[in-house]
Chains A and B, each alone.
Chain A
Amino acid sequence: MTDPRPRVHLTARALTAGSLSAAGLLGLAFLLGLAGAVDLGRLVGNIGVMVLLATPVAGLLTTWWELRVLRPTHAWLATAVLLVLGLATIVALAARA
């Protein structure tokens, strides 16, 4: 038999909130650019991109939170993925600097 299912709502909400916020900010940035507020549009657009980049990280953090009791091994896998991805990003950024 399978174990009880861990909750998923927090991760689903984090992913939805992240993608919708980023889309909203990037859409607003586009409209600001059309209205002639280019610098403000670029700033809002960059914030939107950063929100989008942070969304999978938030998804992995909430996954860890939701799995930590019922599936502790897999909860730590979420942390491992975050660490490996973070390390790979730092190494790649340093190599290009």
Chain B
Amino acid sequence: MIPLELLALLAALGAGVFGAIAGVGGGIIVVPLLSVALGVPLHHAIAVSLLGVIAISATASANYLEAGFVSRRIGLTLLVATTLGGIVGGFIAGLVDARLLAALFGIVLIAVALRMLFGREPVEPTTVEDLGPLEFDATYVEPRTGEEVAYRVRNFGIGSAVSVFAGMLSGLLGVGGGIVNVPTMNSLMGVPIRVATATSTYMLGATAAASAVLYFSRGEVEPALAGAVVVGSVVGARIGARFHHVLPQRALTLIFVGVAAFFAVQMLLRALGGGA
């Protein structure tokens, strides 16, 4: 096998594992590795990375749907908000200083990660019997204990507004929405981290597909590289989904915080003119 494809496959494998666990896809690993470390042109790296995100989303969310971790009600509502934000972001892209925005986003992300790490537990304890008629309150079965866990969703309006902002960031900075959607659902809306990461994974595929169509139509998808990234992503996402079932909620939070910190550094480097 040609070394470039082998390295891309291994990168996608790692991206699939962490992307599926953290609910952020895998572009933040694949794009800089392919473009900076392996010298693949940036547009080609982004194109195959988007295909990898679709593969991770489809593979892992199929698993999460069967396990009952995905709230399609929350996911679909936020997906509409994110998509509308993405369109707005595309229109105002020329009016905003992307480096300043990357710097601000990096700083905000560090603050959010610290809050997730050291802040109070965002999920309000409740019982199935106490759940109200609100549409978004729900339950899932915690795989580590076998108990049915009930959760109340709060701040839904603010969460939707933040999702519009997440979509705008996606359009302006070319980042996936998962890095915003997971803390929005968990810290702001009180959704358990297991459900937030699974629902975010479910949401990512549709938005990545809309962007990937553009790259594909311009002939920027290199089939051999795409093959390596998609195969690696599918295998990695299957492994990641298994870990997602057995890891404690705190471990999921720690992994997300680690990925968010890595992402924040990338944003700050981009603001300084050195990142992919």
Task: Give chain A's interface residues, CB within 8 Å of chain B.
Answer: 1-2, 5-6, 8-9, 11-13, 15-16, 18-20, 22-23, 26-27, 29-30, 33-34, 41-42, 45-46, 48-50, 52-53, 55-57, 59-60, 63, 67, 71, 73-74, 77-78, 80-81, 84-85, 88-89, 91-93, 96
Contacts and interface: CB of A to CB of B under 8 A. Distances in A.
Chain A interface main SS type: helix
B66 A9 contact: yes
Given A16-B59, A88-B86, 7 more contacts: A8-B70, A15-B65, A22-B230, A48-B226, A60-B206, A63-B72, A96-B214
Contact of B83 (A57, A85, A93): A85
Interface of chain B: mostly helix, strand, loop or mixed: helix
B260 to A, nearest CB: 24
A5 B58 CA distance: 21
Contacts of A12: 62-63, 65-66
Interface in B6-65: 51, 54-55, 57-59, 61-63, 65
B216 A29 contact: no
A6 to B, nearest CB: 8
Given A30-B224, A33-B223, A89 B66 contact: no
